[in-house]
Amino acid sequence: MAGIDSPKDPLVPTAWLAERLGDPDVRVVDATLPLVGQPGKGRDFYDAGHIPGAVFFDVNAIADPDTDLPHMLPSPAAFARDVGALGLGREHTIVVYDAHGLYSAARVWWSLRAMGYRDVFVLDGGLRKWRAEGRPVDTAGPTPSPVAVSLAFEPDLVADIADIEQAIGDGSAQIVDARSSARFTGAAPEPRATLRSGHMPGAKNLPFTDLVAGDGTLKPADELRAAFAHVDLGRPIITSCGSGVTAAVLALALARLGRFDVAVYDGSWTEWGGRPDTDVVTGA
């Protein structure tokens, strides 16, 4: 983790990145997705202004084309091809951000790590904090030089429906759901109308918004530890959410607490709540 002051922290501050803009060993990635219910596309945010030199990682395009589930991880070969086209080599230190502060950047941080990248970090506070500090933004996209990327995959960081069924059946892992409490309990409908409301049997709820400070930065370790008080940090953990985006925020927070081995359920509630053969419970 070349140049990172605290190798145990998966985030870097804006000042750290500002000092390294233009460093050939550092790559900056804009991973913005619209918030749930927000109009437009991530590219719209990028075109309106991004950190100079940042490439745009389209979460919905660098995805498995053979499923109707949103932004599922593609094959390692397809992923290597697409990130190679963005100039993201395994030898680079990669800093990912989004326009909201902390939202979809964590998804791309996790995706890169699941595909074997090591030096990947999230910009703490994202473009929101960067702009608030008066730092430069650009509207012209760079032309990245493609690189060859070797194939790699870290299966322990990716959970599928069979892993969830096993965790429910034998308690081998804790399931932590990042959706709002109202969606978790079933009191509020899902934004995807075809999905049932509620949660997986035995799942614990921790809305990802509880982990993010008012300025869009991730809360400090002591506050994160308090938020995860109902989770045994010494046991296996699988995070879930609506479609696998904010589940990665939980994984990022757990990495700040030293748990870099947390798996994200890629299909999340879109898969589980959209099937007729899965158990769904409601209430607290």
pLDDT of 3 > 50? The answer is no
In the prediction, which pLDDT does 20 show? 97
pLDDT of 274 > 60? The answer is yes
Domain 156-272 has CATH 3.40.250.10: yes
Which residues make beta-bridge pairs with 122? 11, 96
Report how far residue 68's alpha carbon sits from residue 64's, in angstroms, rounded to the nearest whole number: 9
pLDDT of 172 > 60? The answer is yes
In the prediction, which pLDDT does 10 show? 97
pLDDT of 4 > 70? The answer is no
What mean pLDDT do residues 160-165 have? Answer: 98
Assign 5 a pLDDT band (cuts: 50, 70, 90).
very low
- Mean pLDDT over all residues of the chain? 95
What mean pLDDT do residues 196-225 have? Answer: 98
Question: Is 241 among the catalytic positions?
Answer: yes
* Residue type at 273 in one-letter notation: G
In the prediction, which pLDDT does 112 show? 98
Catalytic residue among 12, 158, 241, 262: 241
Assign 141 a pLDDT band (cuts: 50, 70, 90).
confident
Q: What is the pLDDT of residues 16-63, one digit of tens each?
A: 999 999 999 999 999 999 998 888 899 999 999 999 999 999 999 999
What mean pLDDT do residues 224-235 have? Answer: 98
Domain residue ranges of the chain, discontinuous segments joined by + = 11-153, 156-272
pLDDT of 120 > 80? The answer is yes
In the prediction, which pLDDT does 6 show? 41
Q: What is the pLDDT of residues 174-208, one digit of tens each?
A: 999 999 999 999 999 999 988 999 999 999 999 99
Q: What pTM value is reported for the model?
A: 0.96
| Among the ranges given (39-43, 100-104, 222-226, 238-242), the one the predictor scored with the smallest mean pLDDT | 39-43
Angle (deg, nearest 10), helices 247-256 and 105-114? 70
Candidates 144, 30, 26; CA nearest to 85 is 144
Domain 11-153 has CATH 3.90.470.20: no
* Identical fold, 11-153 and 156-272: yes
In the chain, % of residues over pLDDT 90 = 93
